[in-house]
Each structure stands twice: as C-alpha cells, then as structure tokens.
C-alpha cells in the first residue's frame, strides 16, 4: 500500500517495490565484489586500493566524481530544504556552478605534485610542501572529523528509503541498516576505490532515469509547473516567515555566502580529493571540470521535487521523508522500488569513497607519522582497510544511537571545518610565502572561531553581522572563520620569518664561538 497525496500514513511493506529494490541492490553488490578484478592491480598497495592505481580516465572519473559529490542525502536533503523554506534551498545550484572553475584552476596542480611524489592525501601534500608534520596532522584530523557525520548522513538517506518501503516497521530500524552496512563494508574492504567507481555507472544511470521520470510525470499529474508553483506559494503563504518560491531580500547575503563557501570547501573533503587523485592525468581533471556542471542541471531538477511535494499536499513530520512520500504517491510500486534503489545507491557510492578517503588520511598521516613510521606497504594497505571499517562503524553508531538532528548539525559544521585547511592546501599550490607555524595558528583560530560561532548560533550555518549603519548581513560562518584564519596566518608569517632568521643567526654565532674556542 502507498500513501495518497496529502496522507501522513506510514507506508506498509510493498513486496513488489521491495523485490525491485532487492534485485538492483543485489546486482550492484555483485559488481562491488567483481570490481577487484576490474583494472587489476596489487590491492596490497595503498595507492592501488585507495586511489585505484591512479588510472581512471575521463569517462570513469566523470561517473566517479558524480557518484561521489551527488549523494543520497543530496537527493533527500536539497528537496527537503526546498519543501521547508522554498527558494533558499536552491543555494546548492550556484554552489555547484562556482566549484568547477575552482577545480579547474587548482586540482590539476594538486594531482601533478601528488603523482610526482607518490602522495595519496592532501595532508601528504601539506607535509611535503611545508615540511610540517603538525600542519599535516591538522589537515588529516580536520578531514576525518568532517567526514564522519557526512557518512552518517548517507546512512540516514538509506534509513529514509527503508522507512518509505515499510522495512523499518517490518524489521525494525536497525536490521536493514546493518545489512546494508555489512555489504558496503565487505566490498569496500575487498575492492577499494574500484568498487564505487564501477557501481557509479549504474547509480548515475538509475538516478537520471528517476529524476527525468519525476520531472515529466509528476507535473503532468499535478496540472503542470504553473500549478505546482502556485500551490507551493500558497503553502508558503500559509506557513509565513521567510519562505516562498522566490528569495526574500534579507536572504541574499546568506544565500550567496553559503554558495561560495560551500564551493570553496567541497573539493577539500577527503572523498573529493581521493576521487580527484585517482584520475590518470591532470587533463582528465580539467575535462571533468568542464563536463561535471551537467550534474548541476540534474540537481536543479531534484530540488524542484520539494515544490512538487507541496503541490501534491504531501504531509510529513520529517522533511526528509518528503521525496520518498512523493515517489510512493506518484508512481506504481515497481517503479517506486527502482527509484528507492537509485537513492540507496546514491548513499553507498559516496559512503564507500568517504570511508576510503578518511582511511587514507588516518593510515598515511596519523598511523605512519606517529605510531609506526616503518610500516611496510602491504601492512599500510591492510591498516587502511581496517580503518575504513572502523570509520563506517562510527558513522553507523551515530545513526543508531544519536539523534538524527545531531548528525545533521555536525555535518553543517563539516563545511566550516574544511574551509580552515584552504590556506594550507589551496594557497600552498601557488605560493610558499605563508609559513607553516603561521598557517597552523590560523587553522586553530579559524576552527575555534567557526565552531564557537556555530555553537552560540544554535548550530545554524549563518551568523548575522551588524554594521555601524545598522545594516544586518547574515553571512556563512565558514567564510567568517576563514577570514579570521587568513588574517592570523598573514599577520604571523612575517613574525615567523623574523624569528626563523634570528634563530638561524643565533645558531651561526654559537657555531662561530665553538670554532673559536677550539
């Protein structure tokens, strides 16, 4: 049974939808294990297991990055935000437009230097560039810290899908998630990055079919897009506040700064860096920076599902259920099962890449650097596989035992945290002027300021600054913290240079004194 428009009824288990879902889920599970034989390599080497041997061409990289960046929670959260507040939720559109010029200018440089030196992570680059283990540790810790709640939110996306199919009521909340987690963990352990790279082909194809069907069929049932926008605006008018199908003037600054800051942070995440470094050449990355905006069009269509849910009078207690409820109300069970499988794959692909990216950081920049500097290549890869399991277990624990809202709030902090490594990583690609000690102080100041502002603001991503003229400007906290970060790093760099010269001069005088004494 599926809910009708306007219903708040919890869906019961539909065997047709479940059968279609299980078929596609089983098919990609087999692909995940077979992937170890695809583009064969020695998976006992970290660069083979964690970066696919750096051999993915333009076609594979396009699907891998698309599967990496456009996640299940994107499919759920973006239309849920539009469903709740309207046009403000479309900040994800300019954000995914801004990001690709940044990628075009920076990521080929990062790929070149990492390939030349055999580096696997952004923290490897920072340590090699600045000769600072402390700064590299800060980059690694930031990446892992921001990735954990991100993986948890992929599992939240899975949880929503299971609930929409009635599985959560039939089997309990934990059982479906545990089964999906076990499958994800096993094929990631055995195949590494090759598994999500291969599955991404199927995931993206299913996603395009789902979205195209939704934006064509659902509007036909609801009387066209004009009727959808009218009904959505009527729902927002009844709700009141700064909601509507158009932006309110007091949302302009927060909208723009959220888009810009999110774009600056996206490719600093470990999963984005991992997928980028797996490319076979710098030109592959440049070509993908040109082609990947096609996904932005898809994202815009996905966001429209929030308006469609309002026009269909979908009533849900949790906004994350808006799209699954709309799918149940709009499509026959067999196609609903197909759509839910597409969303589930949208969780598994990025979750796998995220766990691999975090594992690479822990293994290379924490374990090798501070616990066992003499670890061999095979042992290093084995540790990374174990760490990837531990990361997924931690994310699963967050979903099962912490309030979902807590995981969402932590993920909002993730972008703020990731922006704080921008000076070390991105600026380090173009200049050596900033000193590592100054960058580390800037990172610390930015992390404290960003986390503190978010905390006192109720973990909301924007903070309102009041200017002397009485103007109020809500600005993304990540950019405020980044400005503090840059200020500290720039101010302290001349101080660090002066101290370094003084220490060198003092050391030279000591040597001269010792020589004279002899």
Go through the domains of the chain in sequence order and give each one's CATH number: 15-32+43-416 (1.20.1730.10)
Q: Please give the C-alpha separations between residue 349 and each of 66, 76, 187, 289, 430, in angstroms, as whole numbers.
A: 10, 15, 11, 20, 32
Determine the Cα–Cα distance for residues 396 and 296; give it in Å rounded to an integer.
Answer: 29
DSSP element (H, E) containing 465: strand 462-466
Determine the Cα–Cα distance for residues 35 and 52; give it in Å rounded to an integer.
Answer: 10
pLDDT at 2: 46
pLDDT at 130: 93
pTM, two decimals, is 0.89
Residues of the chain with pLDDT under 70: 1-12, 73, 168-173, 402-410, 468-470, 504-518
Q: Coil, helix or strand for 6?
A: coil
pLDDT at 219: 94
CB 340 within 8 A of CB 325: no
What is the distance of C-alpha 132 from the center of its chain?
27
3-state secondary structure 403-423: CHHHHHHHHHHHHHHHHCCHH
What is the distance of C-alpha 118 from the center of its chain?
25
Phi/psi at 314 (nearest 5 deg)? -70, 125
Q: Coil, helix or strand for 242?
A: coil
Structure tokens at 208: 């395009």
Structure tokens at 26: 């089983």
* Tens of pLDDT, residues 455-498: 898 888 889 888 766 678 899 999 999 999 999 999 999 998 88
């Amino acid at each position: 049974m599926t809910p009708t428009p306007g219903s708040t009824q919890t869906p019961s288990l539909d065997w047709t939808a479940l059968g279609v879902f299980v078929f596609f889920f089983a098919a990609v599970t087999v692909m995940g294990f077979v992937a170890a034989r695809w583009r064969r390599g020695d998976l006992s080497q970290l660069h083979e297991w964690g970066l696919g041997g750096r051999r993915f061409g333009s076609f594979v990289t396009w699907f891998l990055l698309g599967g990496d960046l456009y996640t299940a929670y994107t499919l759920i959260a973006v239309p849920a935000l539009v469903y709740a507040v309207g046009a403000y939720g479309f900040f994800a559109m300019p954000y995914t437009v801004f990001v690709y010029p940044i990628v075009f200018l920076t990521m080929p440089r990062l790929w070149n230097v990492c390939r030349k030196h055999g580096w696997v992570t952004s923290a490897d680059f920072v340590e090699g560039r600045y000769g600072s283990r402390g700064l590299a540790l800060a980059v690694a810790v930031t990446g892992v810290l921001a990735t954990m709640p991100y993986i948890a939110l992929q599992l939240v996306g899975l949880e929503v899908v299971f609930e929409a199919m009635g599985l959560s009521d039939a089997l309990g909340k934990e059982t479906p998630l545990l089964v999906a987690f076990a499958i994800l963990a096993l094929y990631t352990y055995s195949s590494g990055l090759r598994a999500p790279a291969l599955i991404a082909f199927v995931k993206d194809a299913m996603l395009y079919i789902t979205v195209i069907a939704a934006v064509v069929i659902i509007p036909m049932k609801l009387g066209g897009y004009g009727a959808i926008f009218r009904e959505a605006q009527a729902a927002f008018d009844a709700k009141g506040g700064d909601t509507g199908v158009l932006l309110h003037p007091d949302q302009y600054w927060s909208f723009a700064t959220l888009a810009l800051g999110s774009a600056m942070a996206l490719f600093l995440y470990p999963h984005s860096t991992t997928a980028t470094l797996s490319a076979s050449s710098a030109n592959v990355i440049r070509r993908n920076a040109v082609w990947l905006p096609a996904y932005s069009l898809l994202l815009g269509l996905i966001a429209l599902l929030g308006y469609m849910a309002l026009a269909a009078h979908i009533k849900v207690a949790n906004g994350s259920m808006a799209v699954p409820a709309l799918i149940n109300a709009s499509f026959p069970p067999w196609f609903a099962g197909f759509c839910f499988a597409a969303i589930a794959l949208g969780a598994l692909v990025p979750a796998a890449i995220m766990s691999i990216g975090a594992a690479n950081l822990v293994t290379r920049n924490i374990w090798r650097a501070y616990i066992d500097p003499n670890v061999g290549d095979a042992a290093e890869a084995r540790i990374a596989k174990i760490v990837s399991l531990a990361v997924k277990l931690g994310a699963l624990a967050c979903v099962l035992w912490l309030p979902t809202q807590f995981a969402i709030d932590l993920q909002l902090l993730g972008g703020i945290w990731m922006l704080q490594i921008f000076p070390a990583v991105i600026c380090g690609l173009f200049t050596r002027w900033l000193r590592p000690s100054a960058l580390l102080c800037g990172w610390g100041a930015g992390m404290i300021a960003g986390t503190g502002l978010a905390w006192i603001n109720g973990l909301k991503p924007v903070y309102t600054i009041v200017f002397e003229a009485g103007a109020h400007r809500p600005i993304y906290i990540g950019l405020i913290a980044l400005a503090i970060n840059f200020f500290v790093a720039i101010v302290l760099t001349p101080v660090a240079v002066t101290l370094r010269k003084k220490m060198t001069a003092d050391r030279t005088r000591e040597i001269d004194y010792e020589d004279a004494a002899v």
